Every structure is written in C-alpha cells, then in structure tokens.
Amino acid sequence: MTDVLVAIPAHDEADTIAGCLRSVIDSLRTAARVGAIRRARVAVAAHRCSDDTARIAAAELTSARVDHRLRVVDRPSSVGVVRTELIVDALTAGRGLIPRRTWIFSTDADTVVPPNWVDHTLAIAAESGAELVAGLADLSGWSASSDAQARYAELLASGFSPDGRHSHVYAANLAVAAERFLEVGGFPDRPHGEEHGLLEAVRRSGGTVVQTTASRVRTSSRMPGRAEHGLGALLGRLAAGDTPGQVGAAIRGLDPMSPASSSGL
C-alpha cells in the first residue's frame, strides 16, 4: 500500500496556511478511509517568514495529531531548493518513509485541495502508469475585469487537448513517485519554474508523465503574489491589459530551460 508525503513551502503565509493544512489533512484522512494509503506525513517549510506562519502551522499540525515535519529556513534559497530539502528531510526523518512505496504530493500554502485530492491523484497514476501527475489550479476570488478573466481563460485553453489533458504545470498540484523524484535530483535549484524543471527531468529519465484536467485545486489569485515571476505577477499583467500572447512570450523568456515560469502555466 502507498505511503504519502505532502510538502508545502510557505513564505509569510499566516493568513492562508491553516486553511491549506486543514484541507490537506482532510484529503489524507479521506484517502486512508478508502484504503488508498497506508502512512501519511505532512511537511512544511517556513521560509524566511516575518509573520506567524511557523507558529500557526505548528499549532495546526499538532492539534490534528498528524505525522509531520516543520522546518524553519532563514537563509536565502531558491524555492526549488526549499522544496527539495524539505522533501528529503521529511522522507528520512524519524521512522523514515520507504521511497519505493511513497508518493510525494506538492502544493502551496495559499492553496486549498479537495477531499479526494490524494486518492484521486493516486488512482490517475495507477491507471496511467504515471510516475508524475500534474493537475490544474483554479483561481480563488480573482476580482479582475471580465476582459482580464477572458484573457486568462484564453491562456489556459491554449494548453488544453481534447483527450482531457493539458500542457500546464503547477507546483500547487503535482504528485511524483519518490523513487523517481530522488533519481532526478528533485526540484532544480531555480528561483522560479522549478515544477517545469522537475517534470522535464522525469520525462528525460524515462518516467511517464500525465498532465490531467481531472485533478484540480484552488489557489489564491492575490496580486502581487509572493514569487516575483509567479501566478500573481502573471495575473497582474493580464489585469493591466497584456494579451495572452504577450504574457506567454514573457513567461517563456524568463527561463530558457523551461517552457514557463513558476506561474504554473
């Protein structure tokens, strides 16, 4: 039976980390009830926080009585390094998780996952033989103009295919087999676009990747976001009037090794 590790980096997320953790824990408990998982661990990295993110996360994890790891990281690091170090630490801490039977789930601290997130994603992986499953992230509460929302919808639709798959990647909704994750070295050391780097590394190593519309989470639409080139920055450009073509070209230009940035698109 599968073990699951959910990894969540957080930078000044005191307003959202509790809701994120509650949704993740609910999803893990749902997966356990239906017999989809054996063990579960939740790992949070409070990265250079100036607010109560770490305290709130500790309180939520402790009160839920869930197996967890909480890292407080004060040194400057790319988000790729923060995610990878968090995962490696959580895999080996205490009564360690065995990579060959563990799946790593990645989400963000401003994201809420549905109750069936874990078991449904594992079912997609089992059915397709995938070692990495990339789902979608729907926006929560974006109050931009109808024109801006139409531009965002157009940008998303450009990556959809008729078979229910897509070309987008979001670190807020990604799952990968732990053995393959370790084999490729985890998330690359990048300030943005780390999820694309991981996906391409898995692909290059011979792993099967599935990008599906059947797995969806809800993520913050705040502008600006926490990441310089993240989703909030992309939404800001669309709200300011940039076309999907302009935004797409800008995203692709941010990192020549990746088709997109940490916006997830």
Residue 228 placed within a domain: no
pLDDT 10s digit of each residue in the chain, 265 long?
899 999 999 999 999 999 999 999 999 999 999 999 999 999 999 999 999 999 999 999 999 999 999 999 999 999 999 999 999 999 999 888 999 999 999 999 999 999 999 999 999 999 999 999 999 988 776 555 666 667 776 777 677 778 877 888 999 999 999 999 999 999 999 878 899 999 999 999 999 999 999 999 998 765 455 555 556 666 666 656 666 565 555 554 443 233 333 456 6
Quote the domain boundaries for residue 78. 2-137+165-216
Each residue of 164-191: b (16+ CB within 10 Å) or e? ebbebbbbbbbbbbbebbbbbebbbebb
Residue 30 placed within a domain: yes
**Count of domains in the chain?**
1
Residue 47 placed within a domain: yes
Beta pairing, strands 132-140 & 209-220: parallel
CA distance 90 to 96: 8
CA distance 168 to 261: 10
pLDDT attached to residue 176: 98
pLDDT attached to residue 244: 57
Residue 178 placed within a domain: yes
233: left (phi over 0), alpha (psi -120 to 50) or beta: alpha
pLDDT attached to residue 149: 64
Residue 10 CB coordination number (10 Å): 27
CA distance 37 to 29: 9
Residue 20 placed within a domain: yes
Torsion of CA 25, 74, 79, 6, to 10 degrees: -20
Q: What is the 3-state secondary structure (H, E, C) of 219-260?
A: EECCCCCCCCCCHHHHHHHHHCCCCHHHHHHHHHHHCCCCCC
220: left (phi over 0), alpha (psi -120 to 50) or beta: beta
Residue 249 placed within a domain: no
The CA R_g of the chain, rounded to the nearest whole Å, is 17
- Could you tell me which of 86, 44, 45, 39 has the C-alpha nearest to residue 61? 44
Each residue of 34-50: b (16+ CB within 10 Å) or e? eebbebbbbbbbbbebe
CB 189 within 8 A of CB 78: yes
Residue 247 placed within a domain: no
CA distance 255 to 261: 7
User: CA–CA distance from 218 to each of 108, 173, 263 (Å)?
Assistant: 10, 9, 14
Residue 242 placed within a domain: no
Run of H or E residues at 176: strand 174-177
Exposed (0-12), middle (13-18) or buried (19+): which is 236, by Cβ within 10 Å?
A: middle
Q: What is the CATH number of the domain that holds 80?
A: 3.90.550.10
